[in-house]
Structure 1
Amino acid sequence: MNFYHHPPAAAAKTLLAAEGLPTADLAAEHFAHFIACGPEDSPDAVVGLELYGDVALLRSLAVSPGARGKGYGGALVAEIEAYAQQLGVRELYLLTNSAEAFFSRRGYSSVERTNVPETIRQTAEFSSLCPASAVCMHKRIEAR
């Protein structure tokens, strides 16, 4: 599986939108911390980070319907975690409406929103784009 950083914004946003994930707050520069696999003009899967010092918001994990069941999601999460470690991130947070079991199997646990750092709570995804019913999850990682 070949991964590449900084996928073309338009192609990544197309996949995210098709999978029902928020894109309204994503400008081209946000994709500097995204990783994708598959063709650059039509990625099979993407995932991204929003960095805030030693904490980050893991966001926008999407796998196209034709690529599901091939391990792309798990491989991308492992890849983005390794990338986060290289950048000195120690804690990852995410919001999910439908993938709680997927992330639980990868070491993430549910956390109350009130226990999330203020920098993460103030992100557009956290404060307005994801519904209040979304599950908030956390994973502590060791910085390299």
Structure 2
Amino acid sequence: MVPGTILGMSELEAIHQSPDFAAALRLLDSADLPTSDLTEAHLRHFFYLGLSTAPAGLVGVEFHGPDALLRSLVVAPEYRSRGTGARLVARAEAYARDHGAVAVYILTTTAERFFRARGYITASREQAPVAIRETPEFSSLCPASSAFLLKRL
């Protein structure tokens, strides 16, 4: 993709799995989302739209028994307000459900309204499943002021 080129709708229709690691980190860093704990193995459970080497948006799922943590939803500014984020979240939720998750959790400082519109509700941090509380995202990477949300699948 030539820098500055906007992908057409046909290139944004298909959701793919396992984006390029370096490209995913660049997009996440551009949105100030945590990346220090991510490895290439994590990206097996990440979904993206656009090109693997220049994703327009991506989201990940991290499994912890019957619970899943939605990770790192990000959409490049030029692809926002097109339903990109909603499509990625729906795909991640379906993937989590298909892999045995009964609930999806998320921590967010900026997208609480977006997730509430998709059926997420406030969850008590104190009652979070132990495996979720022990993740780096929950325990250290996301600020304590982050909204902690839950969606039952």
1:11 paired with 2:50, answer no
1:130 paired with 2:142, answer yes
Task: Give distance in 2, aligned partners of 1:26 and 1:6.
Answer: 13
Q: 1:128: Cα distance to partner?
A: 0.3
Amino acid at match of 2:90: A
Query: Paired residue for 1:84?
Result: 96
1:25 paired with 2:33, answer no
Q: 1:77: Cα distance to partner?
A: 0.5
Task: Give distance in 2, aligned partners of 1:128 and 1:108.
Answer: 22
TM-score scaled by length of structure 1: 0.96
| Residue 120 (structure 1) aligned to one of 122, 132, 136 | 132
Q: Secondary structure at the match of 2:41?
A: helix
Larger radius of gyration: 2
TM-score scaled by length of structure 2: 0.91
Query: Paired residue for 2:9?
Result: none
1:66 paired with 2:69, answer no
1:41 paired with 2:53, answer yes
Task: Give distance in 2, aligned partners of 1:128 and 1:84.
Answer: 24
- Superimposed CA distance per residue, residues 10-56 of structure 1 (whole angstroms, 9 cap, x where no aligned partner): 11111000011000000111101000001111100000011011101
Task: Give distance in 1, aligned partners of 2:115 and 2:87.
Answer: 12
- Superimposed CA distance per residue, residues 65-88 of structure 1 (whole angstroms, 9 cap, x where no aligned partner): 111111100000001111111101
Q: Which runs of 5+ in 1 are unaligned?
A: none
Q: 1:64: Cα distance to partner?
A: 0.3
Task: Give distance in 1, aligned partners of 2:20 and 2:66.
Answer: 26
Q: 1:113: Cα distance to partner?
A: 0.3
Task: Give distance in 2, aligned partners of 1:4 and 1:73.
Answer: 14
Q: Which runs of 5+ in 2 are unaligned?
A: 1-12
Percent identity at matched positions? 46
Q: 1:7: Cα distance to partner?
A: 0.8
Q: 1:112: Cα distance to partner?
A: 1.4
Paired residues in the alignment total 141
Q: Secondary structure at the match of 2:106?
A: strand
- The ranges of structure 1 where at least 4 consecutive aligned residues each deviate by more than 3 angstroms after the TM superposition are none
Task: Give distance in 1, aligned partners of 2:144 and 2:119.
Answer: 23
Amino acid at match of 2:64: Y
